[in-house]
Chains A and B, each alone.
Chain A
Amino acid sequence: MLNNRKFYISGFIASLFLAGVVSFYASSHPDGLEKVAEEIGFLETAKENTNAGVVFSDYGTKGVDNERASVGIAGVIGVLGTAVVAGVAFKLIARKPKDKKN
């Protein structure tokens, strides 16, 4: 049994490593839905995403030419972003009424 601290730190570091380093080696082939859409022919009905211009569009970092760094930075930002959003959300959800301090 790991203590809380060790467990959460290892889980978080594993996530950073997967998104920041291993992601470079991920398959770049289209995923199941995209491939099916392409083969059947309805991929062309896809419109460009409304916010396709965002800095980390498609898991790359705008302005970073090195591919390993580009996807790695995007992955790390995604892990941190998810951690902040999910961390705050679940902390609020788990808070019981009796903890409320006015």
Chain B
Amino acid sequence: MHIPDGFLDVQTSVIFTGLSAAGVAVALKGARSQLDEKTAPLAGLTAVFIFAVQMLNFPVAAGTSGHLLGGALAAVLVGPWAATLALTIVLLVQAFLFADGGLTALGASTFNMSIVGVWVGYGAFLLVRKILPKNKASIPIAAAIGGFVSVPMAAFSFTLQYAMGATATFSTSTVLGAMVGTHVLIGIGEGLITGLTVSAVIASRSDLVYGWKNNNQSLEIRNA
């Protein structure tokens, strides 16, 4: 879902660069108060792992592939603020080192994946977590559903940008149907990878998992 240069006009690119910059600034503030020496390394590892897994495109339908976005995964592991920052770092590395995603479209891509993907994924995770029993086994399931939902929503967000300022003139509803339809399929892969990864981390270091700690009052540790 990395947008190449040229898809969006200058005005739309500028607007979304501004929105993303504001979102990243808020995330910085949130992460500052939430991260500590114990959780910061996991935020770093989360960025590294997401970079690696984003290279692994899986086939979804005839001639189409998808890859992990990782927004819900990161939010459940390290909290939504640090997740926004982790995803943004991955996108920066991809754009500058690998020419994956256009530089002028970086703001729009960041908006879709680091902000919409992370926060929608985290919101869905919280809702599902509320319904499920309060035990460790529920966390990977809620995370998987968060991951599944986040991908078509990021695709919807791209469609919004397309409607606001695409250089092409194809109808928005055509783009909307195709984008959301394709990304529901990719969302299934996202959900699976997210659920499996969260369950592996819960099994080995549940004390580090933000989406579990913060569900469990007795274990909640807050450093002022």
Residues of A within 8 A of B (CB): 1-2, 4, 7-8, 11-12, 14-16, 18-19, 22-23, 26-33, 35-37, 39-42, 45-54, 56-59, 71, 74-75, 77-79, 81-83, 85-87, 89-91, 93-94, 96
Please tell me if the beta carbons of A82 and B82 are within 8 angstroms of each other in the complex: no
Majority SS at the chain B contact face: helix
Contact A33/B103 with A27-B57, A42-B7, A96-B36 known, Cβ cut-off 8 Å:
no
Provide the bound-state CA to CA distance between A59 and B57, in Å. 12
> Which chain B positions have C-beta within 8 A of A89?
44, 85, 89
| Cα of A86 to Cα of B1 in the assembled complex, Å | 21
Report 18 cross-chain contacts, Cβ distance below 8 Å, ordered by A residue: A1-B204, A7-B205, A26-B67, A30-B64, A31-B2, A32-B183, A37-B7, A39-B178, A46-B7, A49-B101, A49-B103, A54-B97, A56-B98, A57-B99, A78-B55, A78-B94, A89-B85, A91-B44
**Size bracket, chain B contacts:** 35 or more
Q: Could you tell me the distance in whole angstroms from the C-beta of B68 to the nearest C-beta in chain A? A: 10
Chain A contact residues, majority secondary structure? helix
